[in-house]
A and B are shown apart, each in its own frame.
Chain A
Amino acid sequence: EVQLVESGGGLVKPGGSLRLSCAASGFTFSSYSMNWVRQAPGKGLEWVSSISSSSSYIYYADSVKGRFTISRDNAKNSLYLQMNSLRAEDTAVYYCARDRGLTIFEDWGQGTLVTVSS
């Protein structure tokens, strides 16, 4: 069974940093592209970033480009999102999602809440 477990969320002040992690199990992590998708409270879904299986290809939404960095450690079956220069509008539940291919989000974690507030 595919399991994706996010962690690292919490309350951070504007301008601060946070690192999210996603622990994967139940599949061959190194064979799949992975993604981060977020959802602001009461709002819709927003794609944040994608990373290919070998980290060769990385993409970001314009709203986070230059501030967020996606990475992965295939030896540890883990996906990361380093978030710097956080803003109030980054407040959201952040989901880790396994890629079925072409950024079709086949499996999702339960999400981790990031709150940016002073």
Chain B
Amino acid sequence: AIRMTQSPSSLSASTGDRVTITCRASQGISSYLAWYQQKPGKAPKLLIYAASTLQSGVPSRFSGSGSGTDFTLTISCLQSEDFATYYCQQYYSYPRSFGQGTKLEIK
């Protein structure tokens, strides 16, 4: 099974900051990676798939990059609504797996 490890587990930032979250796969997954955002008490929301393709309706301040084993999610200019928990997910092989999550908090 492929293990997904995110770093950091939590992050404090201010509105307007640029932040980067990293996701590492235990083996190569090409670009078969998605990113989700989850707010408390809500279902997750798809942000990015194929490592760097923005889901329709997602603001362009979100971007993704990487391939193989190392991936990043970048939010270029944090807005108040971006404070949430972010998860990466590999869909290269079964069982599908998620990272443990990165909680982005207001500084």
**B46 engages A45 (CB within 8 Å):** no
Q: Does A75 contact B (CB under 8 A)?
A: no
Q: Tell me the count of chain B residues lying within 8 A, CB to CB, of chain A.
A: 22
Q: Smallest distance from the beta carbon of B97 to chain A beta carbons, Å?
A: 7
Residues of B within 8 A of A (CB): 1, 32, 34, 36, 38, 43-46, 49, 55, 87, 89, 91, 94-101
**B46 engages A104 (CB within 8 Å):** yes
Binds B, one of A11-19, A23-31, A80-88, A106-114: A106-114
**A44 engages B99 (CB within 8 Å):** yes
A102-B98 contact, Cβ under 8 Å, with A45-B36, A108-B43, A109-B43: no
Q: Is the interface of B mostly helix, strand, loop or mixed?
A: loop
The contact size tier of chain A is 20 to 34
Among A50, A59, A110, contact of B43 (Cβ-Cβ < 8 Å):
A110
Residues of A within 8 A of B43 (CB): 95, 108-111
A44 to B55, CA, bound (A): 22
Q: Smallest distance from the beta carbon of B36 to chain A beta carbons, Å?
A: 7
Among B34, B87, B95, contact of A44 (Cβ-Cβ < 8 Å):
B87
A105-B95 contact, Cβ under 8 Å, with A44-B87, A45-B87, A45-B89: no
Residues of B within 8 A of A32 (CB): none
Interface residues of A in 35-68 (CB under 8 A from B): 37, 44-47, 50, 59, 61-62
